[in-house]
Structure 1
Amino acid sequence: MEQAADFANQSLSAHAQDRARDGTPLRDPARPEPKYRPLTALHHFRELLKDKEDTSHVFRIFEALPNKSFKTRVRNLVLSEKGERLRADEPYLPPILDDHETLRELPRGTVAHAYCDFMETEGLSAAGLVAEADKLGRRKYDDLTAWFSYRSRDTHDLMHVLTGYGRDALGEQCVLLFTHGQQPSHGHLLIGYAGALNIKKMTRGSKAPVLKAVRQAQRTGTACPALVGMSIRDLLAMNLDEARRRFAIPEPHWYRECHRIWREEGVDPYNLLATGAEEGAPQAA
């Protein structure tokens, strides 16, 4: 009986530790355990290839390929002193990221200005990415896992800015593999490498070093501290060049080289499905 009581007390103690100071649980008890469904992921990857702008398939792929280390990464951040400070100062990133008027008050050359330039040029917003995710109709949970997940999602475009990868097909694969370097998951690996191989297929005969580009992105992500655990306000206020030096983010040489070679071969890097590329061979320069 005493052993049973001790075990019950230990269980209650462990459960209590899985909460923030304000009582927010690490995981809502109603949140279902993710299931590994590779065939579902493959289906959504094929659909994504048909329309890379339909980001709903990206979310579905990640849902179908849960990573075993995810819970540990969430717990290590959100239940730490650093995590408590971040939640207090940055409870939700989209309002911060979409307030371009305030961000533009920071000095020129900062990450904030580069981010605003990127988002405005591309016609994007952090709220827009949230809306895409909401289209899936998934139930929302008020727990620490949700805060971590939203933060991972909302820093995606900041990764484009910091790394220098564009929103072309190769740039997106590079950002996904940069993300894998930061937060390993089979979803990032599938989309990143299978997407790179699809690019090679579309540009068959090209000398562009596509695989070298995505591998460099993955190595860069591994070397760079995880953005999800950084103060995004502090990051936005940093000089962009200084941030890249500080976080070991090099010039994306092989990505730039792919673009250079494609242009010489008569292929538009931002439209690999253009006439000529869609037949699997680059046009003559």
Structure 2
Amino acid sequence: MTEQNALQSTVECARDGTLLRDPRRVEPRYSLPKAYGHFRDLLKDKEETSHVFKIFEALPSKDYVPRVCALTLSEQGEKLRAEEPFLPPILDDHEALRRLPEGSVAQAYCDFMEREGLSAAGLVAEADKLGRPRYGDLVEWFGFRSRDTHDLMHVLTGYGRDGLGEQCVLLFTHGQSPSHGHLLIGYAGALNIKTSVRSRAPVFRACRQAQRTGVACPPLVAMSIRELLAKDLEQARTELNIPEPHWYRECHRIWREEGIDPYDLLTKDTQQELAKAA
């Protein structure tokens, strides 16, 4: 028996021999102070999204590996790994996606990404800044897939890339895959908005609705993304139990009524003051 075969005999793995969790992985250590430090850094520069990944690393979920195991060692997981081994090439092929019907998730996704100047590869590049080692195990595949569906969540839920929209997507994600990292960034970010912008906008109602929607929606990470992209957007929302984000829309309506730009809630100076106070 080879060394690799001996290793696989004592560690869970997929049918093709891919390890569930490579033994060389360092066991993550929970550190709220470390996570909060990265959150302060994120406040100073909200475009430096590498801090988000560091927050998640500092607040590992004890249920994460069991969730990875439940999907990746199932027949559905095997099928997804064979058909969609890595999502960015699929998501960034707008030429192919644009051939899908008008009104489809794919068309809405392309509109969103092109309007915002985003790409799935760009999110990968931000994560790669951390310089984390690659293991090629099932935990890694699951993590990449969870990361790469972030912008698709924006499209399906209707939450924009404004400050509140990002918090709502994070809390939707918490509903899908609970972690203290999503809770910290989502609700602490919402609190910053609420305390720094004088308004009657129901910020926390919007956040709670997003979290409940994430719980009610089947996990996107376990779905065929190719099939989802081909669906009519409104049909997909109905099937996935994703309602109109009423309270988020209401916040935008009230802010505009009050003369506040929802996409410029926190000026650079305000962000710096918040960072100092944190």
Scaled by the length of structure 2, the TM-score of the pair is 0.93
* Residues 203-258 of structure 1 deviation map (CA, whole Å, 9 limit, x = unaligned): 13x10000000000000000000000000000000000000000100000000000
What corresponds to 1:21 in structure 2?
A: 15
Question: CA 1:237/1:276 → structure 2, altered by over 3 Å: closer, same or farther?
Answer: same
Find 2:107's aligned residue among 102, 113, 118.
113
CA deviation after TM superposition for structure 1 residue 52, in Å:
1.3
Cα distance in 2 for partners of 1:121, 1:12 equals: 48
Instruction: Say whether 1:201 aligns with 2:198.
Output: no
Question: CA 1:42/1:105 → structure 2, altered by over 3 Å: closer, same or farther?
Answer: same
Per the alignment, in what secondary structure is the counterpart of residue 270 of structure 1?
helix
Cα distance in 2 for partners of 1:238, 1:107 equals: 8
Find 2:91's aligned residue among 85, 93, 97.
97
What corresponds to 1:44 in structure 2?
A: 38
Instruction: Say whether 1:155 aligns with 2:155.
Output: no
Structure 1 unmatched runs, 5+: 1-10, 281-285
Aligned residues: 268
Find 1:62's aligned residue among 24, 48, 56.
56
What corresponds to 1:126 in structure 2?
A: 120
Structure with the greater relative contact order (CA < 8 A, sep ≥ 6): 1 or 2?
Answer: 2
What corresponds to 2:246 in structure 1?
A: 253
Cα distance in 2 for partners of 1:279, 1:38 equals: 22
Find 1:217's aligned residue among 206, 210, 217.
210
**Residues 193 and 266 of structure 2 are in contact (CA less than 8 Å); yes or no, is this contact kept in structure 1?**
no
Structure number with greater Rg is: 1
What corresponds to 2:276 in structure 1?
A: none
Cα distance in 2 for partners of 1:188, 1:99 equals: 29
Per the alignment, in what secondary structure is the counterpart of residue 171 of structure 2?
helix
Structure 2 unmatched runs, 5+: 1-5, 274-278
Match for 1:243: what amino acid?
A
* Residues 30-59 of structure 1 deviation map (CA, whole Å, 9 limit, x = unaligned): 111110011110001111112211100000
Cα distance in 2 for partners of 1:276, 1:201 equals: 15
What corresponds to 2:25 in structure 1?
A: 31
Per the alignment, in what secondary structure is the counterpart of residue 262 of structure 2?
coil
* Residues 78-130 of structure 1 deviation map (CA, whole Å, 9 limit, x = unaligned): 00000000000000000000000000000010000000000000000000000
Cα distance in 1 for partners of 2:264, 2:114 equals: 20
Identity of aligned residues (%): 72
Question: CA 1:221/1:254 → structure 2, altered by over 3 Å: closer, same or farther?
Answer: same
Match for 1:239: what amino acid?
D
What corresponds to 1:184 in structure 2?
A: 178
Cα distance in 2 for partners of 1:213, 1:52 equals: 21
Question: CA 1:49/1:277 → structure 2, altered by over 3 Å: closer, same or farther?
Answer: closer
What corresponds to 2:3 in structure 1?
A: none
Match for 1:253: what amino acid?
H
**Residues 203 and 277 of structure 1 are in contact (CA less than 8 Å); yes or no, is this contact kept in structure 2?**
no
**Residues 267 and 277 of structure 1 are in contact (CA less than 8 Å); yes or no, is this contact kept in structure 2?**
no
Per the alignment, in what secondary structure is the counterpart of residue 24 of structure 1?
coil
Find 1:270's aligned residue among 252, 263, 267.
263
What is the RMSD computed on CA atoms of the aligned residues? 1.9
